[in-house]
Chains A and B, each alone.
Chain A
Amino acid sequence: GAVVSQHPSRVICKSGTSVKIECRSLDFQATTMFWYRQFPKKSLMLMATSNEGSKATYEQGVEKDKFLINHASLTLSTLTVTSAHPEDSSFYICSARPLAGGKDTQYFGPGTRLTVL
């Protein structure tokens, strides 16, 4: 089956630093990738839709200047949390939709747990 990887799987950083999370589709091309955020014991909330070669579409309430998304190729999207603060601590999950997808298939990455001290 299709595989999506995320790197790093876990990161701890100091307040004020920036953290980059990578989402890669390993065996398929994806024009669209999605970034979700999950707080402890909560559901997944869509943050943004990342389209290859164009600007990401952010959900209402998500600061685009804080959560920078870049989708430079058909297999890679990155999420950079800029000037991270403790309230940004969360579980970030990406998903990728295959270029040749049908049935609205999406494949999820394993997630990245961010802890900001």
Chain B
Amino acid sequence: NAGVMQNPRHLVRRRGQEARLRCSPMKGHSHVYWYRQLPEEGLKFMVYLQKENIIDESGMPKERFSAEFPKEGPSILRIQQVVRGDSAAYFCASSPRLAGGPQETQYFGPGTRLLVL
């Protein structure tokens, strides 16, 4: 059973360009969570999605950032008009049911390192 897949692993963009980060959850997992890790900081929650639904986007910046998890295909985190401050590692996690209970755990992907020049 393959783990959580993220691609690309590294992404370089110039200021003003768009960044698209993809996350394929583990097989059988329908819950996806996105986190951002700034240099020398812990992970910060961004958004929680189920198939075709955004459940909680309380951690998402109000502008330029969006996320989706279509019925078919990977979850996408999209950053429009990137700025240098967007440079970070973006991690995706998945779970088969809503995480937060003793029986459920989020499984993390390897992350996408975004560098904005």
Is B one of A's binding partners? no
Interface residues of chain A, those whose CB is within 8 Å of chain B, are: none
Interface residues of chain B, those whose CB is within 8 Å of chain A, are: none
